């Protein structure tokens, strides 16, 4: 998957993307620094909420992939352009679901 | 009773989140619909162990995981097919295939056991990822609760577009319409072959992420981070996991 750059129009977007990547990665020091940055910027409550979201999507993605859940019909057409642009349609899980 | 403690957490944890984690660990330890409490706790153990498995590491590095043969390094006495399901979904879920899932069923794992195993494994992954993210060691496994699984298959479940049978929107009965009925997304019906497992997983989802009702309410802020920030974190994790859904 490509590298994310900038805030994407979302306050502290780059910081949160870095935190998500650190959670998914195996660099302990990077995660420690990213966690400290999120805590300092968004507070302890913000950190906990970001951790909850990351945790849940790390799990729910695996439910989708292991059950072969297809994208909902109502979402297929509205997401077609950005799935194509972002390369999501080329994900192995897309080809199998 | 299993009690999860976050006294060692580096930051205060929301009370509703602690309670949701408490319910999740209790659910893992208790007899399920098709699996005993002992088997469910073994699944949780195997999830954690998968990251130390040599075969999983070799497969992850391979161009295709299906070209690498061998045996998983296991810490439980779970059947081979169940270990394969747990390890593969924990370490390389993006490259799971329909034919692989069918092979597991053909080798003796029932569809119901498959779905319940996915539910328990993914609940464990969610709880462990939270601990890892917030800076705590993973919680201790609960002691398994004695008792028999209920072994009730919902009669309305049938094969649909997913790899495993599920309860389609038009087939949901009155009691399950909130979770599987019309207007509900496919991901919420993914585990519906084992409705109790689906309900339990989405109980945790409501505290980690948002409930179905909260998801539709863009005017209210439910968390300390904004909705846009929530979706950014969710989207980045899913992109890293290469999850098309």
Q: ipTM, 2 decimals?
A: 0.96
Residues of B in contact with A50 (CB under 8 A): 133, 225, 229, 233
How long a stretch of residues is chain B?
245
* Chain-chain contact of B118 with A62 (C-beta, under 8 angstroms): yes
How many domains is chain A built from?
A: 1
DSSP A20-32: HHHHHS--HHHHH
Mutation site, A8, A9, A57, interface B, largest B CB count within 10 A: A57
pLDDT of residue A73: 83
User: For B199-216, what is each residue's pLDDT tens digit?
Assistant: 999 999 999 999 988 998
In a domain, A91, yes or no: no
* Ramachandran region, residue B158 (left: φ > 0; alpha: ψ -120 to 50; beta: rest): beta
pLDDT > 90 fraction of chain B, expressed in percent and rounded: 94
Signed CA dihedral, A77, A79, A82, A83: sign only: negative
Q: What is the pLDDT of residue B12?
A: 96
CA of residue B104 relative to chain centroid, distance: 18
Quick check: is A81 in a domain? no
pLDDT value at position B192?
97
CA-to-CA separations, B225 to B104, B152, B187, in angstroms, rounded: 41, 40, 24
- Residue B157 and residue B125: Cα distance in Å, rounded? 26
CA distances from B120 to A73, A85, B54, B197 (A): 28, 34, 23, 8
Q: Does B14 touch chain A (CB under 8 A)?
A: yes
DSSP 3-state assignment of A83? helix
A21 belongs to a structural domain? yes
Q: Answer yes or no: is A40 within a domain.
A: yes
pLDDT reported for residue B245: 87
**Residues B210-244 pLDDT 10s:** 998 899 899 999 999 999 999 999 999 999 999 88
Which pTM was predicted? Answer: 0.95
Give the span between the Cα atoms of B168 and B185, in whole angstroms.
10
Residue A58 belongs to domain spanning: 13-69
User: What mean pLDDT, rounded, does chain B reach?
Assistant: 96
Measured in Å, how far apart are chain B's first and last C-alpha atoms?
A: 36
Between A91 and B60, name the one with better pLDDT: B60
Quickly state the pLDDT bin for B2 (edges 50, 70, 90): low
DSSP state of B163: S
Q: Band the pLDDT of A62: cuts 50, 70, 90.
A: very high
Mean pLDDT of chain A: 90
Question: Per-residue pLDDT for B127 more than 90?
Answer: yes
B:55-84 residues touching chain A, CB 8 A cutoff? none
Q: pLDDT: is A4 or B109 the higher one?
A: B109
Q: Which residues of chain A make contact with B241, given a CB cutoff of 8 A?
A: 24, 57-58, 61-62, 65
Secondary structure element (H or E) that encloses residue B41, with its range: helix B37-50
In the numeric block, the tokens 């019909």 are attached to A73
CB B81 within 8 A of CB B107: yes
Domain boundaries in chain B? 15-208, 209-245
Burial of B226 (0-12, 13-18, 19+ CB in 10 A): middle
Residue A65 covered by a domain: yes
């Amino acid at each position: 998957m490509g590298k994310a750059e900038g805030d994407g129009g979302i306050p502290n977007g780059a910081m949160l993307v870095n935190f998500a990547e650190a959670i998914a990665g195996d660099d302990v020091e990077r995660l420690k620094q990213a966690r400290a940055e999120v805590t300092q910027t968004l507070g302890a409550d913000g950190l906990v909420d970001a951790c909850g979201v990351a945790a849940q999507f790390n799990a729910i993605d695996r439910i989708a992939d292991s059950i072969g859940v297809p994208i909902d019909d109502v979402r297929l057409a509205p997401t077609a352009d950005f799935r194509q642009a972002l390369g999501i349609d080329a994900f192995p899980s897309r080809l199998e679901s | 009773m299993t009690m999860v403690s976050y006294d060692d957490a580096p930051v205060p944890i929301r009370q509703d989140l602690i309670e949701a984690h408490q319910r999740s660990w209790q659910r893992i330890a208790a007899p399920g619909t098709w699996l005993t409490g002992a088997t469910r706790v073994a699944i949780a153990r195997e999830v954690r162990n998968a990251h130390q498995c040599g075969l999983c590491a070799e497969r992850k590095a391979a161009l295709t995981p299906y070209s690498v043969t061998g045996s998983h390094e296991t810490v439980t006495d779970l059947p081979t097919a169940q270990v394969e399901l747990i390890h593969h979904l924990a370490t390389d879920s993006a490259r799971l295939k329909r034919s692989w899932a069918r092979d597991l069923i053909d080798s003796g794992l029932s569809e119901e056991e498959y779905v319940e195993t996915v539910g328990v494994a993914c609940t464990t992954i969610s709880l462990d990822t939270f601990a890892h993210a917030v800076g705590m060691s993973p919680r201790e496994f609960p002691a398994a609760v004695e008792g028999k699984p209920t072994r009730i298959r919902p009669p309305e479940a049938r094969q649909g577009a997913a790899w495993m049978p599920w309860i389609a929107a038009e087939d949901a009965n009155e009691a399950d319409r909130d979770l599987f009925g019309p207007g509900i997304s496919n991901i919420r019906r993914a585990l519906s072959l084992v409705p109790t497992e689906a309900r339990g997983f989405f109980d945790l989802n409501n505290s980690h992420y948002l409930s179905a009702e909260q998801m539709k309410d863009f005017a209210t802020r439910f968390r300390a981070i904004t909705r846009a920030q929530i979706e950014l974190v969710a989207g980045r994790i899913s992109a890293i996991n290469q999850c098309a859904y």
